Amino acid sequence: MRPWPGTPYPLGATYDGAGTNFALFSEVASSVELCLFAPDGSEHRVKLPEVDGFVWHGYLPGVLPGQHYGYRVTGPHDPENGQRCNPNKLLLDPYAKAVEGEIRWEQPVFGYPFGDPHQRDDSDSADHTPKAVVVNPFFDWANDRPPKIPYNESVIYEAHVRGLTMLHPAVPKELRGTYAGLAHPAVIEHLTKLGVTAIELMPVHQFLHDHGLQDRGLRNYWGYNTIAFFAPHAEYAAQTAQGAQVAEFKAMVRTMHEANIEVILDVVYNHTAEGNHLGPTLSMRGIDNEAYYRLVEDDQRYYMDYTGTGNSMNVRNPHTLQLIMDSLRYWVTEMRVDGFRFDLAATLAREFYDVDRLSAFFDIVQQDPVISQVKLIAEPWDVGPGGYQVGNFPPLWTEWNGKFRDTVRDFWRGEPATLGEFASRITGSSDLYQEDGRKPFASINFVTAHDGFTLNDLVSYNEKHNEANGEGNRDGADDNRSWNCGVEGPTDDDEILALRARQRRNMIATLMLSQGVPMLLHGDEMGRTQDGNNNGYCQDNELSWVDWSLAKENADLVEFTTAVTALRARHPVFRRRRFFQGRPIRSGDELRDIAWFTPSGQEMSDEDWGSGFGRCVVTFLNGEGIPDLDQRGERVTDDSFLLCFNAHHEDIDVTVPDGNYGAKWEVVLDTATGEVAPVERETYSGKSTMVLPSRSLIVLRRIGTED
């Protein structure tokens, strides 16, 4: 088979209807062989004939979708100087759009003999590694349109493709745990009922199951072990045809869009599954190790590790940066996703050692006409020095707000001196985002996420219980800011169960009625538990999967979550596009856009805010004080509300503000009873006293003002 010269761009394998162009970057290679595999596993090698700008390329007529392939790169092998080429190792295309096969964790996939990492191993790895697959890029998108939900109207649902659907009784068994299962009408119906506008999927890029986990009979459930940035994970496809995962993923996105739900991907561009200097040689390590990875400058045998996984991507190299940007564009333009959540995003900002918000990666994202137009969410920390960067990302970005999570947890478990920060967090964290021109929706608010306790476990356990992970309960965070309400784990004590239910409602209501973008962890709306395990990364089983029988068992919690999400959707005062100013938005107005009151009905003083014992506060949200304009340029107005928070262990008498604030109020939400928009609404007049039950939130809507 004689290749034509082909073209150096696009990189990867590109099928045009008659054949396939192959292109691979390697600055250190002296030659590159394309390896084509027949269905029986036999290998045919073709030398790529051309190299332009360090991109090796060739076109092969007649090579069709479904063709398995890989590369062998000849070049220097000098680990002490950061070079690890070895033509005996079959290498996965970094631009592979589909991947088939599993890794066999045996000697051939490692570049050194076991027991002697300073020597080179020349055993052939082709029978032990996954293969890239040529894909058909053509797909009928019909009338697909991206929903383009504004941030301030968004409700994000963090979910796992497999975990969300594996136990769903309405999803056919053959579709459970797959992209097709995720698009099943029963799942879509649940998301729509909840008021979800975006589903944020945990990693779906092709990843590997770690050797150490497999030895313990476990799997990499979360998927933060990427090996191919363009390929949807093959295990999540119901179809078994070669490359079928691509079309199945696209069909899932199309179905979500039809339901007006956006698809956001949790992406891992900070490291790969090749690990540290003792890891396998599977792809980039053998193609151009020094270009793709951050190496220790004075000993390039070793890798810089800002991720805790063994290596960090070298985003200072233009070709590595191009790989990431090409991947992002591909998922937007070809797979039509609506945004990304960047795992350990601070790593991408490390130009040298310090985190730099003006790094090349953020500069390029800013000017990119495709990527800059979708939702960009940072996990604003990594494990390196100075890695906690909440509030420090550029204006285009939104961030997982870890301070919101910590403060809301502390407030509701009754920690002292949290009142002032709690007020800041529920009003959009202006201290973090306002100074650089960002809006309240820069804050992605969450109380729970995949990493940590579920909401049910947050109110049921003081300590983590990770024994099932096989690490002696040493893994996972120790600072959970949780409270078990008096008993560790399951109980049949009715009082404790009632308190836990109230605490769950408190946190869901706080999340949904705070300024910013709420993110709900899958299953929290039905009381999902992981039995106290706060690090389920390796639990691909019933411990981590959503138990859908809980939706019936805890139907009241599902209905409460649905109702409070609907309350948010109906009232723009809970999802403002601009920060509160603490003053009237127009001259002549008598009421400020927000006001804070003590339980006695007096406006909060500095002394009140500074008291370390405060557990109760009343917030006035002025529906006439919204500075936003609608699409027609008209000023947005809404009802006005009082949010009455009591994190104290005793009931507190609250005096309802009077005068211009309102003459009459009605209860629209009560976490003590679990009622949202009750049929018979209790009403209060100004200066009247209301009993605010212990550890509860009551929301009042103004229904009358003084003449």
Active site members: 343, 379
CA-based nearest residue to 263, from 147, 369, 180, 365:
147
Q: SS3 for 265-332, per residue?
A: EEECCCCCCCCCCCCCCCCHHHHHHHHHECECCCCCCCECCCCCCCCCECCCCHHHHHHHHHHHHHHH
Amino acid found at 471: E
Q: Within 10 A of 610 (CB to CB), how many other CB atoms are there?
A: 11
* Both structure tokens of 210: 């770690």
Residues 6+ apart with CB under 8 A from 71: 24, 32, 33, 34, 35, 90, 91, 93, 287
Q: Within 10 A of 549 (CB to CB), how many other CB atoms are there?
A: 11
Report CA Rg, the chain.
Answer: 27
Q: In angstroms, rounded to a whole number, what is the distance separating the alpha carbons of residues 269 and 178?
A: 23
Q: In angstroms, rounded to a whole number, what is the distance separating the alpha carbons of residues 49 and 115?
A: 38
DSSP 635: B
Q: In angstroms, rounded to a whole number, what is the distance separating the alpha carbons of residues 551 and 259?
A: 21
Residues in the chain: 707
Query: Which parts of 81-216 fold into alpha helices (H)?
Result: 161-165, 179-182, 185-194, 211-215
Residue 218: C-alpha distances to residues 235, 260, 308 (Å): 16, 36, 19
Residue 505: C-alpha distances to residues 402, 574, 579, 697 (Å): 20, 17, 26, 9
Beta bridge partners of 597: 603, 618
Beta bridge partners of 267: 342
Amino acid found at 360: A
Amino acid found at 210: D
Contact 50, 22 (CB under 8 A): no
Contact 477, 534 (CB under 8 A): yes
Phi, psi of 174 (to 5 degrees): -70, -15
With 0-12 CB in 10 A as exposed, 13-18 as middle and 19+ as buried, what is 182? Answer: buried
Sign of CA dihedral 372, 377, 380, 383: negative
Residue 462: helix, strand or coil by DSSP? coil
Amino acid found at 468: A
Concatenated DSSP letters of 18-47: SEEEEEEE-SS-SEEEEEEE-TTS-EEEEE
CA-based nearest residue to 208, from 102, 313, 133:
102
Amino acid found at 43: E
Q: In angstroms, rounded to a whole number, what is the distance separating the alpha carbons of residues 164 and 199?
A: 11
If residue 367 lies in a helix (H) or strand (E), which one and from where to where?
helix 360-367
